[in-house]
Amino acid sequence: MEILSNLGLGLETALSLTNLLYCLIGVFVGTAVGVLPGLGPVATIAMLLPITFGLPPVSSLIMLSGIYYGAQYGGSTTAILVNLPGESSSVVTAIDGYQMARNGQAGKALATAALGSFFAGTVATILLALFAPPLADLALKFGPAEYFSLMVLGLVASVVLASGSLLNAIGMVLLGLLLGLAGTDVNSGVARYTFDLPELADGINFVIVAMGMFGIGEIVRNLEHDQSRNLVMKKVSGLMLSKDDFKRIVAPVLRGTFLGSALGILPGGGAMLASFAAYSIEKKVSKNSKQFGKGAIEGVAAPESANNAGAQTSFIPMLTLGIPSNPVMALMIGAMIIQGIQPGPAVMTEQPALFWGLIASMWIGNFFLVVLNLPLIGLWVKMIMVPYHRLYPAILMFCAIGVFSLNSSQFDIYLMALFGFFGYVCAKLNCEPAPMLLGFIIGPMMEEYLRRALILSKSDPMVFLQRPISAVMLAMAVLALLVVLMPALAKKREEAFQDE
CA end-to-end span of the chain, whole Å? Answer: 47
Rounded CA separation 455/458 (Å):
5
Instruction: Encode 451-488 in three state secondary structure.
Output: HHHHHHCCCCCCHHHHCHHHHHHHHHHHHHHHHHCCHH
Burial (CB count <10 Å: 0-12, 13-18, 19+), residue 323: buried
Contacting residues for 68 by C-beta, under 8 A, at least 6 apart: 30, 41, 45, 311, 328, 332
Collapsing DSSP states into helix, strand and coil, what is residue 289?
helix
Tell me the per-residue pLDDT of 191-229, one tens digit each, with 9 for 90 and over: 888 888 888 888 888 778 877 887 787 777 767 765 555
Nearest of 269, 264, 449 to residue 344 by alpha carbon: 449
Collapsing DSSP states into helix, strand and coil, what is residue 192?
strand
pLDDT at 25: 92
Contacting residues for 382 by C-beta, under 8 A, at least 6 apart: none
| DSSP states of 119-134 | HHHHHHHHHHHHHHHH
Rounded CA separation 493/270 (Å):
18
Rounded CA separation 361/26 (Å):
11
- The torsion defined by the Cα of 87, 89, 94 and 96, in degrees rounded to 10, comes to -160
Nearest of 234, 496, 246, 262 to residue 382 by alpha carbon: 234
- Identify residue 251 by its one-letter amino acid code: A
Q: Which helix (H) or strand (E) holds 302?
A: helix 298-313
pLDDT at 18: 92
pLDDT at 340: 81
pLDDT at 130: 83
Tell me the per-residue pLDDT of 366-425, one tens digit each, with 9 for 90 and over: 888 888 777 777 777 777 666 666 777 777 787 787 788 777 788 888 998 899 889 888
Rounded CA separation 197/195 (Å):
5
From the CA atom positions of the chain, what is the Rg in Å?
22
**How confident is the chain (500 residues) per 10-residue block, as mean pLDDT?**
79 91 90 72 78 84 88 77 66 81 81 85 85 78 85 79 73 88 81 84 82 77 61 57 83 89 70 77 81 83 86 82 77 82 80 88 87 74 69 76 79 89 85 80 84 88 88 88 67 51
Q: How many CA atoms lie within 13 A of 37 on its CB side?
A: 28
Q: What is the pTM of this model?
A: 0.75
Rounded CA separation 366/368 (Å):
5
Please, are residues 252 and 284 in contact by the beta-carbon 8 Å criterion?
no
Nearest of 405, 357, 324 to residue 54 by alpha carbon: 405
| DSSP states of 73-98 | HHHHHHHHHTS--SSGGGHHHHHHHH
Please, are residues 169 and 157 in contact by the beta-carbon 8 Å criterion?
no
Contacting residues for 403 by C-beta, under 8 A, at least 6 apart: 50, 207, 208, 211, 412, 413, 416
CA distances from 75 to 31, 90, 117, 224, 463 (A): 7, 6, 12, 20, 46
Nearest of 298, 375, 286 to residue 112 by alpha carbon: 298
Rounded CA separation 246/288 (Å):
14
pLDDT at 19: 92
pLDDT at 491: 58
Burial (CB count <10 Å: 0-12, 13-18, 19+), residue 241: middle
